[in-house]
Amino acid sequence: MINQIITNIKQDLSQILTPDQMEALSRTLNKHLPMLTVEKAAVESIKNDMLPLFIAAKRVEGCSEKSLRYYESTIRNMLETINKPECQIGTEDLRGYLDTYQRRGTVSKVTLDNVRRILSSFFAWLEDEDYIVKSPVRRIHKVKTGKTVKETYSDEALELMRDHCDNTRDLAMIDLLTSTGIRVGELVKLNRSDLDFENRECIVFGKGNKQRKVYFDARTKIHLQRYLSERTDGNESLFVSLLKPYERLQISGVEIRLRKIGRELNFNKVHPHKFRRTLATMAIDKGMPIEQVQQLLGHQSIDTTLQYAMVNQNNVKESHRKYIG
């Protein structure tokens, strides 16, 4: 390709330049034009590495490996489907992709908007890094999702679950989830040394490995101390399996245990995150400032806290009677 271009240039100028000038032109073209091929190859190589570079940037920002895997699979699926270089992907390409993504299966609007947000983050990063001039996701607006009222646990349900525990570990685990509202991923990372029984508090590592302090009540303190006093293993983990070799309890282990308790009590969908939602709702219902609830739950955005906190309909009814009549 380069040789053909050099030949064409020389032919076009052969009637104008002297033989010495033609020789000088030939040397100059042969020296500089091949560099364009090298530079183009380097640019293409960078383009092909954009996704790994983006993932590396998000890792530096503190995203968890679980989130990074979700980001990578979501973006890679889009790139393979559209089958264009990132710099050539336009708004209509992405709208078409999202439309097809939604219609090909039972995808909720929440999931669809999560995909849109991830793609927006990727193309915004490309724009910030000057790989593209403008993000094609800018003109794709947030997917409207209907507000669903998610259930929380009643006081009675919490007491029934406590009474149904046949070991001190499960009882302590339910109490800690109830009184702190921590994520299940934070629960399983806890070590014995993270607990401060005197002040009834502990340090947890949340999303992005961000550290925060949470607090537990007196009942939780008593049940945790009882559970730890019965332990005979030397594992530093706060919660371990009930059987040898007493390894750190994993997220799946917590979920399986809670589902089992729920089935035996004929409760609908018992899972760890529901304790978190219950705490947020209860705290706001009792007048705790939303900013403090945000801090307690470790939310970066207060909007997330508001999504967790549901308004108690009985309080709405009472307020209506009080203020309106």
Question: What DSSP line would sit under 217-258, residue for residue?
Answer: -HHHHHHHHHHHHH--S---BSSB-SSTT-PBPPHHHHHHHH
At 24 the pLDDT is 78
Give residue limits of the domains in the chain.
2-48, 64-128, 155-319
Catalytic residue (one of 169, 221, 257, 276)? 276
Catalytic residue (one of 116, 183, 274, 277)? 183
- Whole-angstrom distance, CA of residue 2 vs CA of residue 33: 7
At 136 the pLDDT is 94
What pTM was estimated for this model as a whole?
0.65
DSSP 195: E
Catalytic residue (one of 207, 212, 231, 248)? 207
Q: Over the chain (325 residues), what is each successive 10-residue block's mean pLDDT?
A: 70 75 76 59 53 92 85 94 90 93 82 92 93 92 74 93 96 96 94 96 85 94 97 96 94 95 93 93 86 89 74 58 64
Please provide residue 105's backbone torsions phi and psi, each rounded to the nearest 5 degrees: -160, -175
For domain 155-319, the question of CATH label 1.10.443.10 is answered with: yes
183 belongs to the catalytic site: yes
- Whole-angstrom distance, CA of residue 276 vs CA of residue 48: 41
At 14 the pLDDT is 72
207 belongs to the catalytic site: yes
273 belongs to the catalytic site: yes
Catalytic residue (one of 59, 95, 162, 273)? 273
Tell me the H-state helices in the chain. Answer: 2-13, 19-48, 50-61, 65-82, 91-103, 109-128, 155-164, 168-180, 184-189, 218-230, 251-264, 272-285, 290-297, 302-308, 313-323
308 belongs to the catalytic site: yes
